[in-house]
Amino acid sequence: MFENLSERLGGVFDRLTRQGALSEDDVKTALREVRVALLEADVSLPVARDFVKAVQDKATGQAVTKSVTPGQQVVKIVHDELVHVLAGDNEDPGALKIDNAPAPILMVGLQGSGKTTTTGKLAKRLKDRNGKRVLMASLDTNRPAAMEQLAILGTQIGVDTLPIVKGETAVQIAKRAKQQATFGGYDVYMLDTAGRLSIDEELMAQVEQVRDIVTPRETLLVVDGLTGQDAVTTAQNFDDRIGISGVVLTRMDGDGRGGAALSMRAVTGQPIKFVGLGEKMDALETFEPSRIAGRILGMGDIVALVEKAQETLEAEQAERMMKRFQKGQFNMNDLKGQLEQMVKMGGMEGMMGMMPGMQKMKKQIDAAGLDDKILRHQIALIDSMTKKERANPQLLQASRKKRVAKGAGLEVQELNRLLKQHRQMADMMKKMGKMGKKGMLRNLGG
Ligand code: GDP
């Protein structure tokens, strides 16, 4: 569902960016598309309407600054409003109601969403950061493996788990956990409920029973952030039936664009409290609305990237390159062409911001203090190669490497880095070439 929203916004803002001034009609047209996009993304009508209205009010009232384009300005306003909607009135997303010991936390969600992992992560966080004594219990009576998984996690992170007693029902386990937490002097007890592959009546009835026995202080729904539209349906179902107090979005280390967050916030009215960023036990962070908003808008806008590239590239050069890539050819001359484009398009910074999955790489580049200088160095290295070497970089072994580096007045190390980069890009181009241009856009955009 998110491709839709991002593509649309991307298209709209790109059009705005190209126009010198922003008329009231332009704003209206753009925002109409924003609204449609939001609706298509299953944001409820009132929320979409409020969203657009807020943006319109803010956009119309603002004088157009000279230093930014009107498009950029609208993007900023839309971004801020997204943050506002995502954050709600929830000042501190990571705050949990766990004051009265022992505080029960009910973990709910579908099987495979990362519920058990998140239970462990959260227990560890409560122990390490809040100094809480935590007890964890698995209620998944259908899957003994799930109970064992939690016990193993407990040992790993130094958090107690309720001893497993065979043959007990989920309700019996919940009662025992409550008792043990009370008499054992625990601050918090977490119940990892059973998951199913999809919502079913039996599951819901069971979770309801458990809820009524322990009266949870927090009922956290764990959802896979990569499942998009399904995540929203899941959230709605659980909220209607069980009543949730917050959401944990997992797998946000993947390519998900965070659209699920916006819709879920709108649909359930409940805050996203945490995001899971990996399989490790410390890969849990409090939800940051601005980050997700940036992801929704930043959205690896490969379409804009291509358009921009098309503007600056000589049309025939682009054509020639595309054909070569499709054949799986990508040599040093191609790389040089790309590097020159990058310099023209505002360097690494500008490029990386537009490419999906490049955020991490961008961070590394920033951290290493790299900039256009590196691009120019790389171009110099390629210039210092012979025609043959450019066509076939494999030729570059020890003595040739030294000569090329020396010719550019640089270290062999830098040349090695360039060669590695070339290999990676060649691999990528080959994959893209196989998909054709359309497939390439879809793949990178999705
Ligand atoms: P459950 O069936 O809902 O209890 O799911 P699990 O906790 O067993 O998780 C299923 C798989 O997802 C495991 O391999 C986890 O390591 C993985 N996983 C959980 N959370 C995350 C996350 O935030 N990022 C990534 N990359 N993997 C996760």
Q: Which of 34, 11, 28 is nearest to 262 (CA)?
A: 34
In the chain, the domains with their CATH numbers are 2-87 (1.20.120.140), 103-292 (3.40.50.300), 300-445 (1.10.260.30)
- In angstroms, the CA 384 to CA 67 distance is 40
Complex ipTM: 0.98
CA of 276 to the centre of ligand 1 (A): 9
CA of 115 to the centre of ligand 1 (A): 7
- In angstroms, the CA 327 to CA 53 distance is 49
DSSP letter string, 40-51: HTT--HHHHHHH
- Which parts of 299-386 fold into alpha helices (H)? 302-312, 315-326, 332-344, 347-354, 359-367, 372-383
The ligand 1 atom at the shortest distance from the C-alpha of residue 225 is 23
DSSP letter string, 381-438: HHHTS-HHHHH-GGG--HHHHHHHHHHHT--HHHHHHHHHHHHHHHHHHHHHHHHHHH
Q: Whose CA is nearest to atom 26 of ligand 1?
A: 278
Choose the residue to mutate in 106, 117, 192 for probing ligand 1, maximizing ligand atoms within 8 Å of C-beta. Answer: 117
Q: Greatest CA span in the chain, whole angstroms?
A: 79
CA of 192 to the centre of ligand 1 (A): 13
Structure tokens that stand for 158 in this block: 């130094």
pLDDT value of residue 201: 87
pTM exceeds 0.95 for this model: no
Cis ω on the peptide bond leading into residue 102 (within 30° of 0)?
yes
- Which parts of 113-225 fold into alpha helices (H)? 115-130, 144-157, 170-183, 201-214
The ligand 1 atom at the shortest distance from the C-alpha of residue 109 is 3
Q: Whose CA is nearest to atom 25 of ligand 1?
A: 278
Structure tokens that stand for 383 in this block: 């210039």
Q: What is the pLDDT along the chain (446 residues), one digit of tens a residue?
A: 344 445 555 566 666 655 555 567 767 777 877 777 666 655 667 777 878 887 887 776 655 554 455 555 666 677 777 788 787 765 676 788 888 889 999 999 998 899 999 999 999 999 999 999 999 999 998 888 899 999 999 999 999 999 999 899 999 999 999 999 999 999 999 999 988 777 788 889 999 999 999 999 999 999 988 776 677 788 888 999 999 999 999 988 876 555 667 778 877 888 889 999 899 999 998 888 877 776 666 433 333 333 344 354 445 566 666 677 767 677 888 888 777 777 766 555 555 555 545 555 555 555 554 567 788 888 899 999 998 899 888 899 989 999 999 988 999 999 999 998 888 878 877 776 666 544 444 444 33
The ligand 1 site (C-beta within 6 Å) comprises 109, 111-117, 195, 250-251, 253, 276-279, 283
Q: Parallel, antiparallel, or unpaired: how do β-strands 134-138 and 160-161 relate?
A: parallel
Q: Whose CA is nearest to atom 13 of ligand 1?
A: 114
Q: Whose CA is nearest to atom 12 of ligand 1?
A: 114
**Which residue type is seen at 97?**
K
CA of 133 to the centre of ligand 1 (A): 24
Residue 280 class from Cβ within 10 Å (0-12 exposed, 13-18 middle, 19+ buried)? exposed
Choose the residue to mutate in 279, 286, 287 for probing ligand 1, maximizing ligand atoms within 8 Å of C-beta. Answer: 279
The ligand 1 atom at the shortest distance from the C-alpha of residue 250 is 23
CA of 257 to the centre of ligand 1 (A): 18
Dihedral (CA of 384, 386, 387, 393) sign: negative
Q: Which of 298, 274, 247 is nearest to 2 (CA)?
A: 298
- Which parts of 158-312 fold into alpha helices (H)? 170-183, 201-214, 229-241, 259-268, 289-298, 302-312
CA of 7 to the centre of ligand 1 (A): 29
Angle between helices 2-18 and 70-87 (to 10 degrees): 150
Give the H/E segment covering residue 163: none
- Residue count of the chain: 446
The ligand 1 atom at the shortest distance from the C-alpha of residue 149 is 8
The ligand 1 atom at the shortest distance from the C-alpha of residue 252 is 23
- In angstroms, the CA 415 to CA 323 distance is 27
Q: Where is the binding site for GTP, in residues?
A: 109-116, 192-196, 250-253
Could you give the 3-state DSSP secondary structure of residue 188? strand
Which position has the token pair 């029902």?
A: 169
- In angstroms, the CA 145 to CA 206 distance is 19
CA of 179 to the centre of ligand 1 (A): 29
